[in-house]
Each structure stands twice: as structure tokens, then as C-alpha cells.
Amino acid sequence: MSALAREVGSDDTAGRLVRPFTLTGGRTRPSRTDFTLITTVTAVDPPPERAPRPQPEQTRILRRCARPIAVAELAAHLDLPVSVVAIMLCDLLEAGLITVHPPHPVTPRTPDLDLLQKVRDGLGRL
């Protein structure tokens, strides 16, 4: 490997043209906390008529969530931190361009036997 290749290749972010938090206008926290790793997001199709024109990175997200997709999967496919994707999803949600489906609520004090049985059955079929 040449010295140049080593230098370029040694950095994980090599190849990424934009620093992640420039995509969020420098914001490091989402304005709301709807977006967990396994929250599912779906693009609204067709988009609302009055919605602002999405930015290029937003268009990438919208294309990825034409079908429901979990936030963690979206972040992995986009090669962006989940925190950055969450901020961008906030903007898309506020613009009415996506819908959000929260994860199944799990609370240790009130276990959901029906849910557990479904997971058990599903694993049994693997």
C-alpha cells in the first residue's frame, strides 16, 4: 500500500464528503425523543403538497424509508450516526414527510405474555 493510500484509508470517515453534524446544522440533539434505534419510520406517499422541498440528504432518507424501516437500519445504510439521523428525521416528521411507529412498549413490571409467546413461537420456527 502506498503512503498516500495508507493515509487516506486509515481514516474511518475517508470517503465521507460531509461531516455528519453539518447535515444537522450543528445540532447534536433531536428536538424530540421519538426516535429510538428500533422506531420504525415510513415516508408519506405521496408527500403533502405544502411540504418544503427536501434537501439531498433528506431525499436519501425518504428513498430508504419508502417501506417501513427501523432507525438503526436507516443509519447503517446511510453510514451516519443514529443521533444525526434522528435529528434529520425530526425535520422530516415536522414537515409531514414521514410517519413514525414506536417500538412495542416493554416494561419489566408488566410483562406482555402474549408478545413473549409470539416471539417464542417465531424463534421456534427458525
Partner 1 sequence: MAGSDTTVETIAPPDTVKILIAGGFGVGKTTMVGSVSEIAPLRTEEPLTVAGLGIDDLNGIEQKQATTVALDFGRITISRELVLYLFGTPGQQRFWFMWNDLAIGALGAVVLVDVRRPDSSFAAIDFFERRGIPFVVGVNGFYGEHPYPAEDIRDALALPADVRVLLCDARDRESCRDVLIALIDQLIADARRAS
DSSP letters spanning the chain: --HHHHHHHTSTTTT--S-GGGTTTT--S-SS----TT-EEEE-SSPPTTPPPPPHHHHHHHHHTSS-EEHHHHHHHHT--HHHHHHHHHHHHHTT-EEEEPPPP--TTS--HHHHHHHHHHHHT-
**String marking each residue 19-38 x if it binds partner 1 according to CB under 8 A:** -x---------------xxx
Q: Binder to partner 1 among 4, 5, 17, 126 (CB under 8 A)? A: 126
**String marking each residue 45-84 x if it binds partner 1 according to CB under 8 A:** ----------------------xx-x-xx-xxx---xxx-
Span from 2-10, 55-63, 87-95, 105-113 in contact with partner 1 (CB under 8 A)? 105-113
Is 18 near partner 1 (CB under 8 A)? no
Q: Note the residues at the interface with partner 1 (CB under 8 A).
A: 12, 20, 36-40, 42, 67-68, 70, 72-73, 75-77, 81-83, 99, 101, 103-106, 108, 111-113, 115-124, 126
